[in-house]
Amino acid sequence: MPIVYDRLRQLARARLRAEGTGCSLDTTGLVHEAYLKLVDSPSPSLRDRGHFLGLASRVMRHLLVDHARARKAAKRGGGLPPPEVEPLMWIPDADLDVMSGLDEALVRLQALDARQCRILEQRYFGGLSLEETASALGVSLATVKRELRSARAWLALELRDSSTV
C-alpha cells in the first residue's frame, strides 16, 4: 500500500502542478478520493503497474471534472442552500467552464478514438511518462508519440471551435 499511495501522490502532485499558479487543489484530498474510488470499485484484473496507473489517471480525471461541475452547479444555486465547504479540492471559478469543455471534448474523442483519449488521460490527468503510457496501453513508444500528436491537434481544434460558439 505505501508504494501505491506514494505513486498516487506523485501523479496528483504532477497533475496539480500542471494546473498552474491559479489553481490550489489539495494533493492529499485528490489522492484519498482517487484511492477510495479505486478500492471501492469492483476488482478489475490489473495486468501490471502500468495498467494500474492508467486506471488511476482515469479516476483522477473524473474526480477533477466532477468537482468542477459541482462547483459550477453550486454557483448557479438551484434554490438549494449553499453546500458545506470541503477542503478537498479547489478549482478557480475561471477554470470551471474550461474543465467542463475539456471533459466534453474528451468524451467526443473517446467515441472517435478510445486509445487517443486514454493517452491524453494518462499523460495529462495521470502524469504518466510516454514510456509508462506505452506500457499501460500495451503499444509501442512510437505509437504513443504519434497518437499523442494527433490527439493534441484534434483537441486543440475542438477546444478552439467550442470557444467561438
pLDDT score recorded for residue 41: 73
Domain ranges of the chain: 2-163
Amino acid at 126: G
| Cα–Cα distance, 95 to 151 (Å, whole number) | 21
| pLDDT at 60 > cutoff 60 | yes
Choice between 148 and 82, residue whose per-residue pLDDT is larger: 148
**Nearest Cα to 105, choosing from 153, 67, 142?**
153
pLDDT score recorded for residue 74: 56
Summarize pLDDT for 2-50 with one digit per residue, the tens.
667 777 777 777 766 665 444 445 777 777 777 777 777 776 677 777 7
pLDDT score recorded for residue 49: 74
pLDDT score recorded for residue 165: 44
Summarize pLDDT for 83-116 with one digit per residue, the tens.
443 333 444 555 556 777 888 889 999 999 999 9
| pLDDT at 56 > cutoff 60 | yes
Choice between 117 and 49, residue whose per-residue pLDDT is larger: 117
Of the ranges 5-9, 34-38, 75-79, 137-141, which one carries the lowest mean pLDDT score?
A: 75-79
| pLDDT at 146 > cutoff 90 | yes
Q: Which three cell numbers mark 53?
A: 496507473
| pLDDT at 81 > cutoff 80 | no
pLDDT category at 78 given cuts 50, 70, 90 is: very low
Torsion over CA: 14, 16, 17, 18 (sign): positive
Over residues 104-132, the mean pLDDT reads 90
Q: How far is CA 31 from the centre of its chain?
A: 12
Answer CATH for 2-163 from 1.10.10.10, 3.40.640.10, 3.40.50.1370, 3.30.70.2740 = 1.10.10.10
